[in-house]
Structures are given as C-alpha cells and as structure tokens.
Amino acid sequence: MTGAVVRWLVAGARGMLGQDMVGVLERAGQDVTATDRDVLDITDAAQVLDAVRGHDVVVNCAAWTAVDDAELHEPEAFGINAIGAARLARAAAQHGARLVQISTDYVLAGDAASPYEESAPLGPRSAYGRTKAAGEWAVAAECTDHLIVRTAWLYGGGGRCFPKTIARLARERDHLDVVDDQVGQPTWTMDLADLVLRLVRTGVPSGIYHGTSTGETSWFDFARAVVGAAGLDPEMIRRATSVAASGPAPRPAYSALGHDALVRAGVAPIGDWTARWTAAAPTVLA
Ligand SMILES: NC(=O)c1ccc[n+]([C@@H]2O[C@H](COP(=O)([O-])OP(=O)(O)OC[C@H]3O[C@@H](n4cnc5c(N)ncnc54)[C@H](OP(=O)(O)O)[C@@H]3O)[C@@H](O)[C@H]2O)c1
C-alpha cells in the first residue's frame, strides 16, 4: 500500500490506543475516519457494514478491557471482543478491506519460560483472555486479509494505565508494594500505533504479529523506572508477590512475546522497553 491513498477506519478511537492510533495516522497524512461506540457500536452488524464501506483498512481498537469485571460479565465481554470483532471482520471481507485486530498476551497461558512465538497454542486462563482468543479466531475465519496484532502491558497518555497510577500513588504514600513475579513487556500506545501503520504500509502477509516492546521486566522493576522518571526515590517501591495482590482474574506469570514474524516480514520490532519508556515518560506522566 506504499504511496497509495489509504482510507482508514478506526473503531474504539476514544480509547487509550485508539487516540494515539488516530493521531499517528493523521500526522502521517492518512485519510482517517475515527469512530467510537456512540457512532459505531461494533456489535451492531448493520452499523458496522455501513461504516466499513469505503475504507481500505479497519483497525479494531474497540474492546471490553476490564479484565477483572469480565470474570462476572463474560457474555457481555464476548459480545464485544468476539462477536464485535467478527462483525468488523465480516464487513471488511465484504468491502475488500484489510482488518487489523488488536489482541493480547492474555490469549496465552502465561506460564512460559521464554518469549512466546506467534504460532504458540492459545491457552487463555481468564474470561477476558477467552473472549479475546475467540476474537482472534473469528477475525481469521471471517476475513482472509487480516492482521492480528497482539500487544501487552499498554500505557499511553490518553487513558488509565500502570505508570500514571504508580506515579500518583507514589506522590501520596511513603512506599508501594508491587509484584515482582509477573514478567512482560511494557508497551507505549504510540509505538504500537506506529507499528500498525508500518505493517500496513509494508503490506505484510496476513497473520499474527506481536506488537510489544522488546526485552522483558516485572511490574516491580517497571514501577521503579516510573517512580524514577517522576523524580521520586525508586527505593520506595517494595517487592510483593501476586498471592498478596490477587484479584478475580488470574494474571499471566510470564507473557513476553517474541517478534520473529515481524523480522521475517522485514518490519522492525518496537525497541527495548527501557529506552521506549524513557522516550514516553514525559508525555505519559505529563
Ligand atoms: N490496555 C492494555 O494493557 C492492553 C493490553 C493488551 C491488549 N490490549 C488491547 O488493546 C486494545 C486497545 O485497548 P485500550 O487499552 O486502548 O482500551 P480502552 O482504553 O478500554 O479503549 C477501548 C475503547 O473501545 C470502546 N468500546 C467498547 N465497546 C465498544 C463497542 N461495542 N463499540 C465500539 N467501541 C467500543 C470503548 O468505549 P467506552 O469507553 O464507551 O467503553 C473505548 O473507547 C484492546 O483490543 C485491548 O484488548 C490492551
């Protein structure tokens, strides 16, 4: 698609990723239709079919993202994360558009010891993970021309996220207990949006791609980096375990994602999480 005028439809454009997705596309001079639930409810088949018409690429940033609430409301989460994704994919196929589905490390079991390959078997352990795994399956089944971009540990200027919460609490309290036994890849929404643009511009083959920073860390070490960037003492962050902090939905213990598919397609992965956090912190903590 290099050089051609590309007409993008972004669903869930007011979410944390959606805002940066629209911003990145607009700054790149793309033709963008930004929609959120009030104008395009992705669970409404007729609305979806109408909205997708006239677009070349549809990016689905819309989702039920409340991980713990999904344990009690799995049918509602399924309606958005699986059926909504399926409706967008079906409409994209009917209108000859490419569908970019944003997915998550929660579709995997999260008990690996080295980064997951794109072809790793799915094994969601939570209701949210099950609904997102169903979304991946539905998108692949409904729309041949699809990119499933799995991300994790997202943070950004336009939504509630771990760094903002930690920075706020660190200003209010003497110390914070943060879990040290969950490992992943903190990823900036700007970097993910830029990756989606690069994937589409490169014209990569349909399939699964991992859209996370490289390297890996624990929430504890990430919290220390956040507090340092906020100008506070990282020693105020104390190690805790998931047992002490457990909520309704199980969290993956290890969910770093490998980036071989990006490399094979000639698309550079997002850089190392520490360098990317250093670049992002002034914007995210502003
Ligand atoms: N945040 C993370 O750490 C993380 C990690 C891995 C993967 N992801 C994935 O990344 C994507 C973006 O996440 P995010 O953090 O940007 O989520 P977010 O901030 O919660 O944004 C989701 C957006 O989707 C909208 N939405 C919900 N239901 C809708 C519907 N039926 N029709 C249209 N729009 C609807 C929401 O609107 P309302 O506000 O009105 O509900 C919201 O604007 C999601 O696919 C998520 O699963 C996120």
pLDDT, residue 127, reads 98
Residues assigned a catalytic role = 128
Task: Assign 54 a pLDDT band (cuts: 50, 70, 90).
Answer: very high
**pLDDT (average), residues 243-255:** 85
**pLDDT (average), residues 174-191:** 97
pTM for this predicted structure: 0.98
62 CA distance to ligand 1 middle (Å): 4
Supply the residue whose CA is at minimum distance from atom 2 of ligand 1: 154
**pLDDT (average), residues 17-27:** 98
3 CA distance to ligand 1 middle (Å): 30
Question: How many other β-carbons are positioned within 10 Å of the β-carbon of residue 141?
Answer: 13
Cα angle, residue 42 at apex, residues 38 and 44 outer, rounded to 5°: 90
Q: DSSP letter string over 200-222?
A: HHHTPPSEEEE-S-BS-EEHHHH
Cα atoms in the Cβ-side hemisphere of radius 13 Å centred on 37: 7
Q: How far apart are CA 25 and CA 8, in angstroms?
A: 8
pLDDT, residue 1, reads 52
Supply the residue whose CA is at minimum distance from atom 38 of ligand 1: 37
pLDDT tens readout for residues 111-152: 999 999 999 999 999 999 999 999 999 999 999 999 999 999
Percent pLDDT > 70 in the chain is: 98
pLDDT, residue 244, reads 65
